[in-house]
């Protein structure tokens, strides 16, 4: 089998989608399955659909276009705020997009009206993470500018935490959306059908802390990996680590643990530090920083330690390995979300599917 390769358990992903849908249904929550972590992989997106997902979210417009061309008829949600240069294609291929800029919404309105279409929007509100969104105090004035735009269907409000500022979802910051929705509905005499309360991190509130009124979550990591990196947890009842890296040993030798000679900075501008452990057995794998986020890897073989990486080489200390290793052997690693995302994006990494 060719390496480096990421092994993808489609059956486990499908099961995770189904289990999360069941949990959300009990709370009256519509689940948007976020496939962006799989970098437009059609087979992974199909596993979401086979698990019952009827609303698919992705941050890359080109992936949504690919899904449409592959015959996907599910609702498509564009998660990254639209670029003005993409407006024509957004209206053509997307059902709902997240927005926060008036100029963008007006451009969507013109294009949708021209083509006699309706463009759904979820207006994002910044509740503290400082990524995208209108500030709560500006929301009513902002809403007054968009409610009568032709071709626009104002679906509701949304928010995002955890992805940039590391702000954790709480009942308090999520409830802001519910209160703001009530203010908009009362002031403008309208009904907003969606309150999109967050991402995988927000699922920690599902059992008893999620405010009444939240009726949509946009979830990717939990379905793909069964993990929640923001809250540092494995999600109970889901399949975990459904993406595994395997890479081949291309060199294995005993070497000193500290480089010899005058040292400067490495190829990534960092000044490395080394602990002198004497002579150690070191293995080099055919994978590197161009392929993966190295600090997101966890070796599955006991006694193996990652000690560094260059663009193309992953360096390991295998002195205490539970198995005797040789050139050509393949080592496996669990992945965090960032490592999975990088591997799925890299064209140099083979993809193998487990059904």
Report the phi/psi class of residue 336: left, alpha or beta, with left for phi > 0 and alpha for psi in -120 to 50: beta
What is the C-alpha separation between 302 and 65, in angstroms, rounded? 43
Phi, psi for residue 35 in degrees, rounded to 5 = -100, 5
In angstroms, rounded to a whole number, what is the distance separating the alpha carbons of residues 221 and 201? 9
Q: Check whether the bond before 4 is cis (ω within 30° of 0).
A: yes
Residue 340 CB partners (closer than 8 Å, separation 6+)? 6, 37, 224, 225, 243, 296
Number of helices (H) and strands (E), helices first, in the chain?
Answer: 9, 18
Residue 36 annotated as catalytic: yes
Q: Are 161 and 201 in contact (CB under 8 A)?
A: yes
Phi and psi at residue 306, in whole multiples of 5°?
-80, 125
Cα 33 from chain centroid? 10
Closest CA to 97 of 55, 54, 69, 139: 55
d(CA 206, CA 193): 19
Q: Tell me the β-bridge partners of 351.
A: 6
d(CA 67, CA 148): 31
Active-site position among 2, 14, 36, 187 = 36
Catalytic sites, residue numbers = 36
């Amino acid at each position: 089998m060719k390496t480096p390769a990421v092994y993808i358990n489609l059956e486990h992903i499908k099961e995770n989608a189904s289990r999360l849908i069941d949990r959300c249904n009990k709370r009256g929550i519509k689940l948007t399955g976020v496939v962006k972590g799989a970098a437009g992989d059609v087979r992974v997106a199909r596993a979401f659909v086979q698990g019952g997902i009827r609303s698919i979210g992705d941050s890359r417009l080109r992936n949504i276009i690919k899904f449409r061309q592959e015959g996907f008829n599910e609702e498509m949600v564009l998660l990254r705020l639209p670029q003005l240069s993409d407006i024509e294609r957004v209206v053509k291929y997307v059902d709902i997009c997240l927005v926060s800029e008036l100029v963008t919404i007006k451009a969507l309105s013109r294009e949708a009206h021209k083509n006699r279409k309706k463009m759904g929007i979820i207006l994002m509100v910044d509740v503290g993470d400082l990524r995208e969104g209108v500030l709560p105090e500006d929301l009513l004035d902002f809403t007054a500018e968009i409610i009568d735009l032709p071709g626009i269907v104002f679906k509701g409000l949304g928010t995002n935490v955890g992805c940039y500022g590391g702000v954790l979802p709480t009942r308090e910051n999520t409830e802001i959306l519910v209160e703001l929705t009530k203010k908009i509905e009362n002031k403008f005499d309208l009904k907003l059908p969606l309150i999109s309360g967050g991402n995988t991190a927000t699922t920690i509130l599902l059992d008893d802390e999620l405010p009444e009124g939240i009726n949509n979550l946009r979830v990717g990591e939990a379905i793909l990996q069964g993990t929640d990196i923001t809250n540092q947890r494995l999600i109970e009842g889901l399949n975990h680590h459904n993406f595994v890296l395997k890479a081949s040993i291309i060199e294995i030798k005993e070497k000193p643990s500290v480089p010899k000679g005058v040292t400067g900075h490495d190829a990534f501008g960092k000044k490395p530090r080394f602990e002198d452990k004497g002579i150690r057995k070191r293995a080099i794998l055919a994978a590197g920083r161009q392929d993966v986020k190295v600090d997101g890897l966890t070796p599955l073989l006991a006694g193996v330690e990652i000690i560094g990486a260059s663009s193309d080489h992953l360096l390991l200390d295998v002195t205490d390995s539970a198995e005797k290793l040789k050139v050509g052997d393949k080592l496996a690693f669990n992945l965090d979300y960032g490592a999975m995302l990088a591997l799925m994006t890299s064209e140099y990494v083979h993809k193998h599917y487990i059904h």
